[in-house]
Chain A
Amino acid sequence: MNPDSVFNTLDISHYIYLSSVLFCIGLFGVLTRRNAIVLLMCIELMLNAVNLLFVAFSSYMGDSAGQLFVFFIMVVAAAEAAVGLAIIVMIYRNTRSTDVGLFDKLKG
């Protein structure tokens, strides 16, 4: 193994910190943004933080299950984005807006 490889020079905790930071940035975005499309983008950011963590664990442990999980997360994220954008376009047709703050018809 290459002695300069990242596994020898870098502790895995840095990857844990990095993906935690990304996850929390995504969470902050989900809590503050009101445009439904941007909300979806923030959720994709959170998913990518998860992917990075999975790949880091998988590589450090030499176990391929984690990388396959990432593969399935990407597959599902694509399907989810397609359905989500279809819903958003449908709503835009009816209300001419993608602002989730305007969705307050249901209350009680």
Chain B
Amino acid sequence: MTSLLILFLGAIVVLYYGINKPEGKSLLMTVILLLAALSSLVYDLLTVKNRNVLGWLTEYVPENMLIWNFNSIAFSIVLVLAFLLVLGLFSRNNYIGADLLGLMLFSVCGGMLMTSFSNLIMLFLGIECLSIPLYVLAGSKKSDLASNESAVKYFLMGAFSTAIFLMGCAFLYGGTGSLELESISRATSMITHLGIKSNLIFSGIILLMAGMLFKISAFPFHFWSPDVYDGSPNRTTVFMATVVKIAAFAAFYRLFNEGLGDVKNWWGVTLAVSAGATILFGNIAAIRQSSFKRMLAYSSVAHAGYMLMAILALPQNGFWALLVYLIAYTSSAVSVFYLLDRTSGENSNFSFDNFNGLGKQSKWLSLILIVSMFSMAGIPMTAGFAGKYGLFSSIITSYPWLLYAALIGSAISIAYYFRVFKHAFFSEDGTLVAWKIGTMEWIFLALSLTITLLVGCWPAVITLCK
């Protein structure tokens, strides 16, 4: 809770500071804020078993609104870490407006509400607090038509999916008589034990699921996401692909696996079919892309499909598998998006040809490209493999056919992930303009590389804090 307060108040301070000094030290201030929030979260995580984490705030923040248990703190740490990586790598020459920083901080706060909600009202406010600044960030290149288009598409889809999600909440409220996650969980498990069929709860769950599938852009509600990812400015795209995904999956997991886990037989098969279709569709569509950014957008749809498996798994297996996969995907996606951003230079052409000659330019950047791509494709010794292994083994007994779909999808994905190597290392006509890499960027690139390799070689490092 302290971390949430730090971020909320910090966002206001950053905004206020930016009034007079539009390009002052806002970035440095934000990074310090994030580090403070991160250390407070780590402290909470280490002491979560011994005491009430809320401390002096317990009186004001009842547990039926926000709950800070191990799972929600762990998800929040990954969320803040992802934002730190995004900020470190996507602030060219330290210039980024204080208004954009403030909006991103608000968005991260919304994400933290989504990871720690214990009441549907808080989940709803979290989703909106996450999305409303994002609609603006997607359209922040005001004179660029692609950015405009992505903003309006994202806004309309976001508002529409919120309406569906709320209809689900209403039915669930009618069926269970409460908005609190714990009471909902109790009511649904009682209904299963008594063998009653409650149509209200069932319709509510289906509508809630549709709303959440919209948010994470899973089949059949994925159609908006490639356009939005493609048109948004690079920094917003990577923010959506990492921070927003983490928050949405944490919320999805906590709502369905923790809250509605007892009625899994009502929604399990539907979600499994959606996951399988998402994996196959995302991977097949990604092959056909000629734009690297669009390929990454479709691959992000496919990754959402893999992560849906965690929601179908048993609670503890699913949690750890999802956590490792989120870390793996974030650390590699951030580096890849960084290379995409820098190779494309000032123009908005994101074709594979931009990577021509990267291999000659820098050995370290080549290493980063190779490791990140290996990790996204799930090659052993990288974090992506550890993540996929955890996810696949968590559902192998309950949904074996989903495993086949996922394996086929992974095999397909190697084709398009490795296509960039042809351009980077075997292409003669290198038109790539070398760019200067600042100290901060090296630090964060090294950080993401370390995470990818460390989690890949020694996945148990994540579970150490258990």
Size band of the interface chain B makes with A:
35 or more
Q: How far is the CB of B401 from chain A (nearest CB, A)?
A: 30
Q: Cβ of A53 and Cβ of B167 under 8 Å apart?
A: yes
Q: Cβ of B173 and Cβ of A65 under 8 Å apart?
A: yes
Q: Cβ of A91 and Cβ of B167 under 8 Å apart?
A: no
Which residues does chain B contribute within 8 Å of A91, judged by CB atoms?
148-149, 151-152
Q: Nearest residue in A to B159 (C-beta to C-beta)? A: A43
Q: Cβ of B125 and Cβ of A106 under 8 Å apart?
A: no
Of A30, A95, A108, the residue contacting B145 (CB under 8 A) is A95
Which residues does chain B contribute within 8 Å of A90, judged by CB atoms?
139, 142, 148, 151
* Contacts known (A53-B174, A72-B125); A103 close to B152, Cβ less than 8 A: yes
A3 to B46, CA, bound (A): 58
* Contacts known (A72-B125, A95-B145, A106-B227); A50 close to B167, Cβ less than 8 A: yes
**A25 adjacent to chain B (CB < 8 Å):** no
Q: Cβ of A40 and Cβ of B159 under 8 Å apart?
A: yes
Q: Please report the total number of A residues contacting B with Cβ < 8 Å.
A: 42
Which residues does chain A contribute within 8 Å of B179, judged by CB atoms?
65-66, 69
Q: Nearest residue in A to B164 (C-beta to C-beta)? A: A46
Q: Cβ of B177 and Cβ of A36 under 8 Å apart?
A: no
**What are the interface flags for B333-373 relative to A under an 8 Å C-beta threshold, 1 for contact and 0 otherwise?**
00000000000000000000000000000000000000000
Which residues does chain B contribute within 8 Å of A43, judged by CB atoms?
156, 159-160, 163
* Contacts known (A83-B135, A106-B231); A76 close to B125, Cβ less than 8 A: yes
A66 to B178, CA, bound (A): 8
Q: Cβ of A50 and Cβ of B132 under 8 Å apart?
A: no
Q: How far is the CB of B62 from chain A (nearest CB, A)?
A: 13
A86 to B231, CA, bound (A): 18
A88 to B179, CA, bound (A): 34
**What are the interface flags for B105-146 relative to A under an 8 Å C-beta threshold, 1 for contact and 0 otherwise?**
000000000000000110011001000100110010011011
A39 to B173, CA, bound (A): 27
A-B contact pairs, 14 of them (CB 8 A): A46-B160, A65-B121, A65-B178, A66-B179, A69-B120, A69-B169, A72-B125, A83-B132, A86-B136, A87-B139, A90-B139, A94-B145, A108-B290, A108-B291
